[in-house]
Structure 1
């Protein structure tokens, strides 16, 4: 990126704005996700596919929130050069939490789609052990995929601002292409397609029930928790990549894109709070299951009830 365009105004604006965004997200997100872990781990002692995925999602959200105090500190304070490795570690944790949440939500959508749209095969494809294995796979995938973060920050002897101004290595076309394709677009398409087909199948069942309504609300809450925080931030990443590639050269456009990226990346942390909607509906579903509330998709599918009782 050319250096003849000043971003001091953007940085000055973001200093108080990031604190305004981060403080309530950190407090609320930490409380909600901690409560979710307590409920899923100690209140609902029966591990189902849904509770396993939601526990993993809560862990990812807490991992996403963990670096926020350091981000808040780095907003107004530079770090000594000797803390460069510590900064890279925190940045790595942040991206593990973010993309771990993305893949967990996508896997929840696939699991739900299998249970609703392919109930006969669900007995072979769905199980708590399979869900646990999938979550372990997500952790391994995001840990490996985010490892390049440790090379984004240039080593030097000067003080620096953590979570800001990556080196040009971080804007490598192949890296950004993989990030946008496999980190966002791929999971987003999986989520949207699976959710749309699941909602259609539920609505075509023609029979209202508390469980069916709860399941539909879980699907909508997952879509909301995914698309609202992550779509603007990845659009900002794409635009900033175009700036680094010299496609966008106008100084005013560059400053607006820089502001857009920082604001949307800050707001993307709100996913840790929005996931609470999913936790609420899952908790309601588990509670209703304990009370043996029946759920049938349609008369023709009534004999498949045992397969679909833990759909959501």
Structure 2
């Protein structure tokens, strides 16, 4: 039996709460991701598999961030009926940024796993071309996967709330199963399993080198950037799906779930700031390897010169 619940108080609270969440994330995330692109593209001048994945992640984060002003506007204002297609387009791009970030973080974990746990096969499996191809594939997959969003809004002449209130099509069991399975659970399992095996392999190596510590930091920062923002939001989606299926019927529970889902989805955007941890450790790793290469090269040249001078004597 369905009960009529009022979500007026939740909507009123979220109008101020979303703005308080979005504004700091937008400012902080924009600065950090632009700086990351500048560093990767202009300062490091060394394209590795890691920097290619991180550049792709920064681009996806920027896409997500640039849509936050539209979300902030939609939080306060209703949109006219003629803007439904524009709304669906923006919603689609928003989820491209979100799930593109999820898949890219999972790809980074797999790349690290191959490099650490299978160092001999890594020479065949890892390359800059493979990393670039993987990033392109991520874009193709998420663009195709978010295309059904255009059918989630019902036609009508009245105003509507963009980024909110999908029709029943968006809450069908097959849609939510694909979203949770392929959009979160699958990538999360890949991330956790690859990360755990990589950390165990580094621990069993018995070497407490700077490079090993840097790898562990990158792995933990990837776990943080994935699990902290995306676990609560997808738990909220699952709970809201149970509400839509009338599995949860208590009015107070419905209200709390609605509030939890909206707060969790708002906080999920913090991934744009948490990814900066990955950027920082990757940058340190690339710079360290570059300095090590330069040192070894200069030492080799010095030794050759010394050998040449000795032979001349």
Deviation, structure 1 residue 207: 1.2
Extract structure 1 runs of 4+ deviating beyond 4 A: none
Structure 1 counterpart of 2:100? 100
Asked whether 1:292 is paired with 2:292, we answer: yes
- Deviation, structure 1 residue 3: 6.9
Q: Distance in 2 between matches of 1:42 and 1:220?
A: 27
Worse overlay, 2-11 or 149-158 = 2-11
Per-residue deviation at 1:268? 0.2
**Structure 1 residue 45: Cα displacement:** 1.6
TM norm structure 2: 0.92
How does 1:2-151 map onto structure 2 within 5 Å? 4-151=4-151
Tell me, yes or no, if structure 1 residue 194 matches structure 2 residue 194: yes
Shift of 1:209: 1.4
2: CA distance between counterparts of 1:18 and 1:176? 24
Counterpart in the other structure of 1:243: 243
In structure 1, what is the equivalent of residue 214 of structure 2? 214
CA contact (8 A) 1:211 1:293 kept: no
Summarize the alignment of residues 251-262 of structure 1 with structure 2, pairs less than 5 Å apart.
Answer: 251-262=251-262
Q: SS of 2:164's equivalent?
A: coil
**What are the Cα deviations for residues 56-96 of structure 1, in whole angstroms up to 9, with x where unaligned?**
00011111111100110111111111111111111001100
**How large is the Cα RMSD of the aligned pairs?**
1.2
**1: distance between equivalents of 2:208 and 2:236?**
41
Q: Distance in 2 between matches of 1:63 and 1:73?
A: 17
Asked if the contact 2:3/2:249 (under 8 Å) is kept, the reply is no
| Maintained 8 Å contact 1:51/1:282 | yes
Unaligned runs of 5+ in 2: 295-313
TM-score, normalised with respect to structure 1? 0.93
User: What SS does the aligned partner of 1:5 have?
Assistant: coil
Name the counterpart of 1:178: 178
| Contact in 1 for aligned 2:56/2:104 (Cα 8 Å) | yes
Q: Which residue of 2 aligns with 1:279?
A: 279
SS class of match (1:291): helix
Report how many residues are paired.
Answer: 294
Match of 1:304 in 2: none
Per-residue deviation, residues 128-172 of structure 1 (Å, max 9, x unmatched): 000000000000000000111111111210011111111000001
Within 2, Cα distance between the matches of 1:252 and 1:115? 50
Task: Assess if the C-alpha contact under 8 Å between 2:50 and 2:108 holds in 1.
Answer: yes
Deviation at 1:44, TM superposition (A): 1.5
Computing the radius of gyration from Cα coordinates, the structure with the larger value is 2
Structure 1: gaps spanning 5 or more residues: 295-312
Distance 1:222 1:205 in 2: 22
Query: What's 2:230 paired with?
Result: 230
